[in-house]
Every structure is written in structure tokens, then in C-alpha cells.
């Protein structure tokens, strides 16, 4: 999915949270979430998973899937 806020330096949280909610995403994975983004994601029932910056995307997604299977 294309990030509609990729060119912005600040204020991306509300834009991204809304787009993720529209797409019915239930987990967001990133190297860092700002406090505003975390609050918005939580309000939209989207789980925020922080990973080490530079983590391979496929590995991060696999880890989240495996974590869900084990619960």
C-alpha cells in the first residue's frame, strides 16, 4: 500500500492511522511510532508493533504472525 504521507516530515500519524483503518488493517509494524500515532492507532483498534530499525520486513511480519499463532 502506498503511504499517502510519505513526503511529510510531521503530522503523518493521523493520515496513516486513518488509511490503515480504512483498509481494515489490525497490526502496524514500524521502527518507531510517535505518541500521537500510537494513540490514534489504539483508538482505531490497530496494534502497533515496534521493531528494530533496519529489520527485514518479511522477518518482522513472520514474527508477528508466529506470535499470533502461539496465542
Count of CA atoms in the C-beta half-sphere (13 A) of 22: 8
The rounded distance, in Å, linking the Cα atoms of 6 and 2 is: 8
Give the pTM. 0.78
Q: Where does the chain show beta strands of DSSP type E?
A: 27-30, 47-50
Residue 25 belongs to what domain range?
A: 12-70
3-state helix, strand, coil in the chain (%, to 5): 50, 10, 40
7, part of any domain: no
Q: What is the mean pLDDT of residues 9-24?
A: 86
**Is residue 62 within 8 Å of residue 38, measured between CB atoms?**
no
**Mean pLDDT along residues 36-52:** 93
pLDDT in tens, 18-27: 889 999 999 9
Number of domains in the chain: 1
Indicate whether 17 belongs to any domain: yes
Mean pLDDT within 54-68: 90
- Region 23-41: mean pLDDT is 92
Amino acid at each position: 500500500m502506498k503511504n499517502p504521507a510519505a513526503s511529510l516530515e510531521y503530522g503523518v500519524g493521523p493520515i496513516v492511522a486513518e488509511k490503515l483503518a480504512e483498509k481494515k488493517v489490525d497490526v502496524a509494524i514500524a521502527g518507531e511510532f510517535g505518541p500521537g500515532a500510537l494513540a490514534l492507532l489504539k483508538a482505531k483498534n490497530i496494534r502497533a508493533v515496534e521493531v528494530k530499525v533496519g529489520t527485514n520486513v518479511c522477518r518482522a511480519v513472520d514474527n508477528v504472525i508466529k506470535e499470533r499463532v502461539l496465542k
